[in-house]
Chain A
Amino acid sequence: MLKILKYSFYDLMRSRWSYVYFFFYLLLGIVLLFLNNNLSKAVITLMNVIITLVPLIGTIFGVMYYYNSKEFTELLLAQPVKRTSIFLGQYFGVALSLSMSLILGLGLPFVFYGVFMSSAIWDFVLLLITGTFLTLIFTALAFNIALANENKIKGFGYAILLWLFMAVIYDGIFLMSLMFFEDYPLDKFSLIATMFNPIDLSRVLILLKLDISALLGYTGAVFQKFFGTNFGFVVSTAVLSIWVLIPTYFIKKQASKKDF
């Protein structure tokens, strides 16, 4: 598996898209920092970008990579290599190279700006951690979609639909249900509903760390009480990990069953 991971990783490192992705974040970081001159504001803007763009790029890139390397995968399958190690290797190769582009692309300008000397360091680290988690989650979901669909167009369609659902439609349904049941106590419900969407969970985690919780009023207090404690942090990290583990498990399951 490690060999295939290494191969996928180097393959992607050589490809144009990783560089485009890397330079995009590099440029974004530089522009934000040197136009804004305010580290914590830059972190907020970055959050807006990360929670929408990272999942989108993760899904599209995952699906694209799977379909592009399909012939090579079929060649590999003819060799005496375990199936799961082929697919998991590919998955981690993609996810790791995307995460690396993200971390390096955003990290470098911030390091040069002096993030280590600033109090925003933990916000920034949290931002990168959630970004990495989102990459892992959405690449895994994309692989699942690609494995389930032979048809490229269908695969892409589902992938984009998945992103659209998680980033936009889910919040719409969430909002509607909050407004519909406004006569009932909704704190527990909104806590749980946030947990079920990794994008929302990341957003809330970062927002609370950025001391915006006072703005959130009573609901914010409930959230702060939950996420502000070590328990809450452990739970949210666990939930994000589960969000990585379950799709990965399904990749494994699908890969061992799939007929090529």
Chain B
Amino acid sequence: MKLFYILLFTLFLSFPKQSAYGNTLEVCSSCEYKSIKVAIAQAQDFDTIVIKKGLYKEMNIVIDKPLTLIGENYPVIDGEFKGEIITITSDNVTVDGLFIINVGTSYTEDYAAIRVIKSKNFLIQNLKLEKLFFGIFLEKSSDGKVFHNNIIGDAVEEYNSGNGIQLWYCKNIEIDQNIVTHVRDGIYLEFSDFCKITNNKSRENIRYGLHFMFSNDDLYQNNIFQNNGAGVAVMFSKRIKMYDNLFKDNWGSASYGVLLKEINDSEIIGNTFETNTIGINIEGTNRIIYKNNHFTGNGWAIKFRGACYANNFTENNFLYNSFDLSYNSKLNDNKFDHNYWSSYTGYDLDKNGIGDVPYRPVKLFSYIVNRTPETIILLRSLFIDIIDFSEKVSPVFTPDNLLDNYPQMKIITND
């Protein structure tokens, strides 16, 4: 038995570098490794590279083996505006606690602070990115996590700026607790399925806070999208779940809380839309459940642009919007039931909490504005109030089956 232990011990000593836990390599100005690139070149699989505090003027750092890069006290990696800074091409890579600045800008290539190519099981966390073109760019990767990063861009124009977090042909990615500001699109997904976007804050971006296309089965929860140039745009996707997000202050002549285009079979539940020009702009979206959302102080709470069928709006609150609903056809196949409308003027004689008179969310004026946009200049005129009232009494122009048969008398609280 003793002999066996000795044998094992010597075995350990003789192959120190092949242990499954890996070694730790330190990088600093007075360490054995002075540059990150050299450390990566020398490292074995599953080693850990600790980067001490300092300034590292490096770019095109390629991580091509499963390594863990950990920054101590946020070492600064300065790309000097020359190009891409870190590229990950291997599975099982962790990057943690770095401060990456000065990514190069190009009109032909999408330089990123960190790019992940065809990798699995990566973890990118606690990074601070500033002065960037693209921030975190994931392509054809899966099963990774982007956690708790802080991306602060300095984008001014759309054409020469990049996106904060971009996913392209990815699967099963978790994007959690990131803060993205002042880039073109805060979070951008293209052809990326089964992703979870949770607890992020995307503010003051030039174009969209969140933008996705052709990305199915994704979950968006507890995110905050505030004061973005054009709000949030989501297009051509199926089976999306948007829960408990906040869309706020997306205010401008072409801004939306959410722009939905060709979205099918999705759920939009528990979100708050506050002071947006248009809360939700809906075009060609079918079979979507809108439930327990709050629409407060928007110009238009919901604007239908056509080809929307079998959508179901239940138990939402519509509070003090200039227009609750804008609808552009006489045909209606969508259901609006059990919502609370702050402009509902009906009564509830049997005291069951449901108004006895159905509510018509589409005003005549919103119909007119849809036809002739210039007429909006008459907003809040006495004449408009009068024709709205007469249309409410006997609908002629607005679809007569578009009504909430069970308008709630009290604000719906869902928790």
Contact = CB atoms under 8 A, between A and B. Distances in A.
Given A179-B368, A215-B322, A203 B253 contact: no
B255 interface: yes
A223 B379 CA distance: 13
Contacts, number: 80
Contacts of B386: 168
Interface string B314-347: 0000001010000000000000000000000000
Contacts of A214: 251-253, 255, 277, 299
A219 B382 contact: no
Contacts of A221: 253
Interface string A190-228: 100010000010011001000110111111110100000
B379 to A, nearest CB: 7
B38 interface: no
Contacts of B320: 41
B376 A217 contact: yes
B168 to A, nearest CB: 33
Contacts of A175: 368, 375, 378, 383-384
A200 B380 CA distance: 10
B374 interface: yes
Interface in A56-73: none
Contact of A174 (B252, B253, B378): B378
A167 interface: yes
Interface string B373-397: 1111111111110100000000000
A48 B277 CA distance: 21
Contacts of A212: 299, 322, 379
A194 B377 contact: yes
A52 interface: yes
B383 A220 contact: no
A167 B368 contact: no
A212 B300 CA distance: 12
B380 A203 contact: yes
B351 interface: no
A221 B252 CA distance: 10
Given A178-B372, A179-B371, A186-B374, A218 B379 contact: no
Nearest to A180: B372
A182 B369 CA distance: 11
Given A178-B372, A179-B372, A215-B322, A171 B253 contact: no
Interface in A113-127: none
Interface residues of A, number: 35
A162 interface: no
Contacts of A204: 377
A157 interface: no
A240 interface: no
B374 A171 contact: no
Contacts of B277: 214-215
B374 A167 contact: no
A171 B382 contact: yes
Nearest to A41: B320
A204 B322 CA distance: 15
Given A218-B253, A221-B253, A171 B378 contact: yes
A216 B372 contact: no
A190 B383 contact: no
A187 B372 CA distance: 12
Nearest to B385: A48
A174 B372 CA distance: 12
A91 B254 CA distance: 48
A5 interface: no
B379 A207 contact: yes
B371 A171 contact: no
A172 B378 CA distance: 9
Contact of A200 (B371, B373, B381): B381
Interface string B230-266: 0000000000000000000001110100000000000
Interface of B: 251-253, 255, 277, 299, 320, 322, 368, 371-384, 386
Given A214-B251, A215-B277, A218-B253, 12 more contacts: A171-B383, A174-B378, A179-B368, A182-B372, A200-B381, A207-B379, A207-B380, A211-B251, A216-B379, A217-B373, A219-B376, A220-B376
16 contacts: A167-B382, A168-B382, A171-B383, A171-B384, A178-B375, A186-B372, A207-B380, A212-B322, A214-B252, A214-B277, A214-B299, A216-B376, A219-B377, A220-B253, A220-B377, A221-B253
Question: Top 7 closest A-B pairs, CB basis?
Answer: A171-B383, A215-B299, A182-B372, A186-B374, A171-B381, A219-B374, A168-B383
